[in-house]
């Protein structure tokens, strides 16, 4: 979801963007707007267009279009305002996932193409001729987006037009890269969409199965402790009546423990099945994921200089702060179930699937350059991530979760020992604006005019280690102990 800005500002700032990527598509000369559609040369005059009583209220039954119908809308709107239909399709995908997520967004953007209400009042189009310009209607929304892009100069400079839609270089590159993929033909947009839905569904199913399994295992442990506690009290009871009552309680706890154990076995099979489906979806998407435009949609790994950003999803979804509380680390926020990758060619030193109270599910690996990294709060750990395993940069190691001491889904990433900030490393900064955005006030842009990196507060020369791995006193215990 993206906030729009007043068109006057959009036109002014977009002049700075140049004509990058304008040669990706055949841009046709500006033509007159077809009869019945408003021109892009000026916004709506007051009272000239009818709008829904409330732009921010979603319809009870959202409009649904088939792939063929959507393609027709993109192509007609593109022809009407001299905007390549592939760009409209890409914006439709990025903004609302083809109408699956229409808001209102946290910023107030609404509908198929995520217009801010005040922007819709100026540029909204009644393209389906039902008497109302409705952002929740796919035809109205796509035609309005084409008109807005044309008004921003998109008919002759695609970068300029898309930049006016959202003032972020990463956004322009994502849209134009995806449009470039769609340029191979209308069916590409939909085959890629199906691939993404399959992959996202498999990730979500795996993460949910892992979460349910953890809860069931926790219930087994709790009921086992209760059963043991009641049995111990029964053994110490002097009165027969007390002993029998306590034994009854112990029996009930044991029954609940056994039922939970049965549930655990079922959930273990479900998790294994979900992981198998995820592997199949990943294999099906492997070829497409090498295309920069498709890579973003599929949350594939982003590579740069021998490193991979550890969280997939891209700049519009993944964010990180320049600082992390009061010790060196980074919390990389991403939706629950997002893929996690090995950040470099590395060897797994430790991994644990039973959540630590602080770190949750996680792993520690040694990268090719000798640096040792710890990942925390995973929802699920990939079965192949075991001590001694060799990982290639970009290998999936698990899914984003909130296990352990976590306020929400994110990856906690830190060096071992935690003596410097991951955010300060050159490889991490190189992904800003492409694999993630800064979440603490700096611009998402990383090109000309982007703010310089703001260094975190200096670290003391002898910091206390955070998440120091210690050996468990019981070798059979899966839990990895951490101390601060």
Residues paired with residue 401 on neighbouring β-strands, in sequence order: 410
Nearest-5° Cα angle at 362, 357 to 363: 135
Hey, what are 418's tokens? Answer: 């935690």
Q: 455 CB contacts (<8 Å, ≥6 apart)? A: 322, 421, 424
Residue 310's nearest CA partner among 384, 393, 383, 390 is 393
Q: Measuring CA to CA, which residue among 188, 441, 476, 445 is closest to residue 322?
A: 441
| Residue 8: per-residue pLDDT | 30
Q: How far apart are CA 24 and CA 93, in angstroms?
A: 19
| Length of the chain, in residues | 484
In this prediction, the residues of the chain whose per-residue pLDDT falls under 50 are: 1-32, 442-484
C-alpha to C-alpha distance for 244 and 167, rounded to whole angstroms = 72
Q: Distance (Å, rounded) from C-alpha 459 to C-alpha 423?
A: 13
Q: What pLDDT is attached to residue 292?
A: 74
- pLDDT at position 441 is 58
Distance of CA 360 to the CA centre of its chain: 20
Return d(Cα 26, Cα 23) in angstroms, integer: 7
CA-closest candidate to residue 428, choices 299, 321, 335: 321
Integer Cα distance of 248 and 243 in angstroms: 9
Q: Are 108 and 69 in contact (CB under 8 A)?
A: no
The 10s digit of each residue's pLDDT in 51-91 is 999 999 999 988 889 999 999 999 999 999 999 999 999 99
């Amino acid at each position: 979801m993206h906030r729009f800005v007043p068109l006057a500002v959009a036109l002014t700032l977009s002049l700075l963007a140049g004509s990058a990527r304008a040669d990706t598509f055949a841009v046709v000369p500006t033509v007159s707007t077809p009869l019945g559609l408003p021109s892009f040369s000026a916004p709506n005059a007051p009272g000239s267009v009818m709008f829904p009583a409330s732009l921010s209220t979603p319809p009870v039954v959202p409009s649904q279009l088939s792939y063929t119908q959507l393609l027709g809308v993109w192509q007609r709107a593109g022809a009407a305002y001299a905007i390549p239909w592939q760009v409209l399709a890409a914006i439709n995908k990025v903004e609302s996932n083809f109408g699956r997520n229409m808001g209102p967004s946290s910023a107030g953007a609404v509908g198929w193409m995520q217009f801010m209400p005040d922007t819709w009042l100026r540029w909204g189009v009644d393209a389906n001729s039902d008497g109302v310009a409705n952002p929740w209607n796919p035809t109205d929304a796509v035609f309005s987006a084409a008109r807005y892009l044309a008004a921003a100069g998109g008919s002759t400079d695609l970068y300029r037009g898309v930049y006016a839609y959202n003032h972020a270089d990463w956004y322009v590159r994502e849209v134009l890269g995806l449009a470039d993929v769609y340029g191979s033909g209308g069916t590409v947009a939909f085959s890629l969409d199906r691939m993404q839905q399959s992959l996202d569904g498999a990730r979500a199913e795996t993460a949910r199965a892992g979460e349910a399994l953890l809860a069931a295992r926790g219930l087994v442990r709790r009921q086992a402790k209760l059963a043991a506690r009641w049995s111990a009290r029964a053994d110490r009871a002097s009165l027969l009546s007390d002993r029998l009552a306590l034994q009854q309680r112990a029996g009930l706890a044991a029954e609940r423990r056994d039922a939970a154990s049965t549930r655990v076995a079922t959930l273990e099979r479900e998790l294994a099945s979900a992981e198998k489906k995820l592997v199949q979806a990943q294999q099906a998407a492997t070829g497409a994921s090498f295309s920069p435009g498709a890579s973003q949609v599929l949350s594939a790994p982003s590579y740069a200089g021998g490193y991979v950003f550890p969280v997939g999803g891209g700049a519009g979804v993944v964010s990180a702060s320049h600082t992390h509380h009061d010790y060196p680390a980074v919390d990389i926020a991403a939706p629950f179930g997002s893929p996690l990758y090995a950040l470099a060619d590395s060897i797994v030193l430790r991994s644990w699937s039973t959540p630590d109270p602080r770190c949750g599910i996680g792993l520690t690996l040694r990268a090719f350059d000798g640096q040792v990294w710890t990942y925390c709060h995973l929802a699920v750990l990939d079965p192949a991530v075991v001590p001694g395993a060799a990982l290639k940069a970009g290998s999936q190691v698990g899914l984003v979760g909130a296990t352990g001491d976590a306020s929400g889904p994110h990856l906690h990433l830190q060096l071992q020992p935690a003596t410097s900030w991951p955010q300060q490393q050159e490889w991490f900064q190189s992904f800003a604006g492409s694999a993630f955005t800064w979440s603490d006030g700096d611009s998402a842009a990383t090109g000309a005019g982007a703010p310089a990196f703001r260094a975190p507060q200096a670290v003391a020369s002898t910091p206390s280690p955070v998440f120091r791995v210690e050996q468990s006193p019981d070798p059979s215990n899966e839990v990895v102990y951490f101390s601060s």
